[in-house]
Amino acid sequence: MSNLPVSYIDAPIDSKLWATLDARCDSEQGCDYLTIPHNTNLSNGRMAPYMKLDDTLEAKRNYAISRLKREPIMEIFQHKGGSECINGLSSVFGAPDELCEVEAVRHIGKSRSIIVRDYDAPGIVMQNVSIVTEECQEGEVGENGMLGAGCVHPTDFQRSALLVGLKQEQAIGLNPVKLGIIAATDTHSSNAGGVKESAWVGAVTGEGSAKERLEPGLLTSGIDGNPGGLAGVWATENTRDSIFDAMLRKEVFGTSGPRIRPRLFAGWTLDENLCQSNDMISSAYANGVPMGADLMPSDAHGKPKFLAYAVKDPDGQKLQALHLVKGWVDSQGTMNTQVIPVSEDTSGADSLCHVYTDKNFNPSQSAYYYLRAVEPKTPRWHMYDCASLSESDRPAVCSDGSYPETIQEMAWTSPIWYQGN
């Protein structure tokens, strides 16, 4: 490990962070590192590649090389909301996805009230202003994302960020946004996860009671916050080195809280009946690639097959559905996404499994695929707090519909990538 941490003052942009860590981290002394982008849903375009770099092919390729080596994964869900996707991006083509709204704190085209400082007034004066969330313009970087202000960029969210990576790969020959997926609590309390919505007791100042939690706080505290997510790692053994190696190769996943265990494999010759096999996982490794990997082109001009599998939280809800999320860039450079339902059990299942063939696969188009495992709807945490209060003590948020009464918990695997020929 480096003797000293690298601060924002030392490295205000990602490329400088890696350069500084490279200088301080001596591999010959056993030092290695990776970086993980945090609450990107509030980043106002700061996840975009090449920030403050020269607009040259050499600079862009060097950036991509560093990021591919040092930043293998990103955080998709935590106390400050979901970062999988956002509806309404004009640069991304695909049907609206209602699950993008789960614990969403930014909504394109919607207004919200935020508290900001009035710098024209003498002293420290705070004022309430109403703003509309808009998309970032070309090259724009917004401000005050932590307050709910500033523009939204495709790279603020995992699904569209991966598309930006595919598009840049066409331009420079390397993918600078090739990120696996984890999640985290971000509650700064060192607990093992806020798994149960009904047991959420808050994490920051002003969340110590049900009445306090039901009030607005800073953007992602109080009623706007949530219990956070969990990271999962498919390591070969339970050691620090093995876990670190799994993170580097992106064989990791994230959940919105429950201990769901998803797996995704891709291959050209996966058996259609693999879900019924006692050797399902070992066969998938032998004949395919796991989450986080690249599916190499096939000489046989076939269609890729995907083993989608998930097991429920042992103490949680049964699983309702498996979705394979596909993203691709077409020959016109248009970024596209599709959510493909591959398995569903409306009555709930302890596990779901399916071998899916992408019959619309185009070998000339670069694409990514990741798995999303979904639970049925359950009450959001604040409804339990509302129920704990007498009717006369309940604030308006308990009944006015301003916040969704239910959520659907999920798990997401890291993607598998295919580079078009």
Q: Supply the pLDDT for residue 113.
A: 78
- Report how far residue 155's alpha carbon sits from residue 162's, in angstroms, rounded to the nearest whole number: 8
In the prediction, which pLDDT does 261 show?
99
pLDDT at 187: 87
Q: What is the torsional sign of CA 155, 159, 162, 166?
A: negative
pLDDT tens across 176-230, in order? 999 999 999 998 888 888 899 999 999 888 889 999 999 987 778 899 999 999 9
**Alpha carbon separation from 221 to 60, 147, 185, 353, 386 (Å, rounded):** 37, 11, 13, 37, 17
pLDDT at 220: 82
Query: How high is the pLDDT of residue 137?
Result: 94
- Mean pLDDT calculated for residue range 75-97: 97
- Does the pLDDT value for residue 93 go beyond 90? yes
Distance of CA 274 to the CA centre of its chain: 28
- Smallest CA-to-CA distance from 96 within 78, 108, 110 is with 108
- The gap between the terminal CA atoms of the chain, to the nearest Å, is 40
Q: Is 409 exposed, middle or buried (0-12, 13-18, 19+ CB in 10 A)?
A: buried
Which tens digit of pLDDT belongs to each residue from 232-244?
A: 999 999 999 999 9
Res 71: pLDDT = 98
pLDDT at 333: 93
63: pLDDT strictly greater than 90? yes
Sorted by where each begins, the domain ranges of the chain are: 34-418
Query: How far apart, in Å, are the Cα atoms of 190 and each of 184, 185, 186, 193?
Result: 11, 9, 9, 8
pLDDT at 134 over 90: yes
